[in-house]
């Protein structure tokens, strides 16, 4: 082990989207920051397909929007299909967006309650954020893995496994943006209360949908002519189907079923997804394995978590992103929440490191501000999921919900939820 004095002002554990935005923002404000990231490069396995909410504006403010919006020409088609023709120089509010299978008419409230949408593969986002963080002066140490840390009155020491052996890094503060299974959260003994939902099984895979299954506009053909549009969750009496082709050229199909227990001892297959889709929509749909060499998604999840850390701060240690909160995913809120955590925390930490007046209170405010917002996001994800469940009672609630969409106040509140914004 190499003993050192203070290595840096802030150590960021985890170079996913949250950690990389945080590091770039800290460096831009004159803070010495080192990111410790165990993987050699961003995960090649496709994950998120986009950012929804105020984080899109943050990316624009950091000069990244244009590059990311133009990442892939076929994303223009995706934007067109979801009704968000916003590939200008700067983001424009989406005129509509999906919520529990409804299409929210956001155009009516977009001036004061804008919802921005940026379809972009997560890997492209991470590559851009890393480039930007390095350019702004952050140090990113890949193939470095946190083993443990200890904090004392005026700093934090971290033991990090590196290709050259174990090193000890020291800093004034340490941030865990190390994902849902966060070692930082566990070692700081911060609980992750909330719910594990095991009543429904979700299945998701990259597949090819043959042309004969689709209409000219890309909707899935149904025998009764009520064809299913891409990108919108479709609720049936048996579950939920969502599908769409993203800029990567891959088509993602996912189902959510409440009454079809899965055997988690066997690996998920495209055949299993095909059976699930047939149950949900009531007819067989040809699905083929995806073209290309991959890597491709093939996932089954029998239990999903909706949890928020009991605190986002333990002394000199902070949590952000998936390390601080895990959502069931409806409304695609996770990336937005993590990036907003990062920008908020960067301001507060920079003030503390640079000795700005009032920095102590600002640091204290992080937990309250961002945890309150995370709890709100858990709630709105849960509301969306509950409105998609089968049953006559849910159908009745959906009718009431649809009627309330005529109320601009209600629509504005939903827009703020999607944006990850404190309701005004």
Binding interface with ligand FAD (CB under 6 A): 13-19, 36-39, 47-50, 122, 145-146, 177-179, 183, 297, 321-322, 332, 334-336, 338
Q: Which is nearer to ligand FAD, 108 or 289 (CB)?
A: 289
Q: Which is nearer to ligand FAD, 390 or 416 (CB)?
A: 416
Shortest spacing between CB 208 and ligand FAD, in angstroms: 18
Provide DSSP, 180-211. TT-HHHHHTT----EEEE-S-EEEEEEEB--G
Shortest spacing between CB 325 and ligand FAD, in angstroms: 9
Q: Which is nearer to ligand FAD, 338 or 390 (CB)?
A: 338
Q: Measured between alpha carbons, how far is 56 from 343 in angstroms, rounded to an integer?
A: 12
Q: Which is nearer to ligand FAD, 253 or 390 (CB)?
A: 253
Shortest spacing between CB 158 and ligand FAD, in angstroms: 9
Q: CA dist 195 to 257, 336, 339, Å? A: 18, 21, 23
Shortest spacing between CB 33 and ligand FAD, in angstroms: 15
Question: Who's near 275: CB < 8 A, 6+ residues apart?
Answer: none
Shortest spacing between CB 146 and ligand FAD, in angstroms: 4
Q: Six-digit token pair at 399? A: 């009718």
Q: Which is nearer to ligand FAD, 102 or 231 (CB)?
A: 231
Q: Which is nearer to ligand FAD, 43 or 259 (CB)?
A: 43
CB-count exposure of residue 325 (10 Å: 0-12, 13-18, 19+): buried
Rounded to 10°, the helix 359-388/334-353 angle is: 180
The strand pairing partners of 24, in sequence order, are none
Distance of CA 260 to the CA centre of its chain: 27
Shortest spacing between CB 241 and ligand FAD, in angstroms: 16
Q: Measured between alpha carbons, how far is 55 from 53 in angstroms, rounded to an integer?
A: 5
């Amino acid at each position: 082990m190499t003993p050192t004095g203070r290595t840096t002002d802030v150590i960021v554990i985890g170079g996913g989207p949250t950690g990389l935005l945080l590091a770039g923002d800290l460096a831009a404000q004159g803070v010495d920051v080192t990111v410790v990231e165990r993987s050699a490069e961003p995960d090649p396995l496709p994950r998120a397909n986009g950012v929804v909410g105020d984080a899109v504006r943050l990316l624009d403010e950091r000069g990244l929007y244009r590059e990311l919006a133009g990442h892939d020409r076929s994303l223009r088609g995706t934007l067109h299909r979801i009704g968000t023709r916003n590939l200008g120089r700067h983001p424009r509010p989406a005129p509509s967006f999906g919520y529990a299978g409804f299409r929210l008419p956001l155009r009516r409230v977009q001036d004061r309650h804008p919802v921005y949408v940026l379809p972009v593969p997560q890997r492209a986002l991470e590559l851009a954020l890393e480039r930007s963080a390095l350019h702004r002066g952050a140090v990113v140490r890949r193939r470095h893995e946190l083993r443990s840390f200890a904090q004392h009155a005026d700093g934090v020491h971290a033991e990090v496994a590196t290709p050259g052996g174990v090193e000890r890094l020291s800093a004034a503060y340490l941030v865990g943006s190390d994902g849902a299974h966060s070692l930082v959260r566990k070692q700081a003994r911060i609980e992750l209360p909330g719910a594990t939902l095991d009543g429904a099984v979700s299945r998701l895979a990259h597949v090819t949908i043959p042309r004969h299954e689709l209409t000219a506009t890309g909707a899935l053909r149904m025998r009764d002519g009520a064809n299913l549009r891409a990108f919108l969750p479709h609720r049936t009496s048996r579950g939920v189907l969502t599908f769409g082709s993203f800029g990567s050229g891959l088509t993602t199909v996912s189902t959510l079923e409440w009454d079809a227990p899965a055997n988690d001892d066997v690996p998920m297959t495209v055949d299993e997804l095909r059976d699930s889709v047939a149950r949900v929509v009531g007819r067989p749909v040809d699905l083929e394995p995806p073209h290309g060499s991959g890597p491709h998604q093939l996932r089954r999840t029998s239990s999903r978590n909706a949890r928020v850390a009991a605190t986002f701060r333990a002394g000199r240690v902070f949590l952000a992103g998936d390390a601080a909160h895990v959502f069931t995913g409806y409304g695609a809120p996770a990336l937005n929440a993590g990036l907003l955590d990062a920008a908020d925390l960067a301001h507060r930490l920079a003030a503390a490191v640079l000795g700005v007046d009032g920095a102590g209170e600002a640091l204290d405010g992080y937990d309250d501000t961002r945890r309150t917002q995370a709890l709100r996001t858990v709630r709105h994800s849960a509301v969306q999921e509950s409105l998609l469940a089968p049953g006559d009672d849910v159908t009745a609630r959906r009718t009431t919900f649809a009627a309330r969409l005529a109320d601009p106040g209600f629509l504005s509140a939903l827009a703020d939820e999607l944006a990850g914004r404190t309701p005004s």
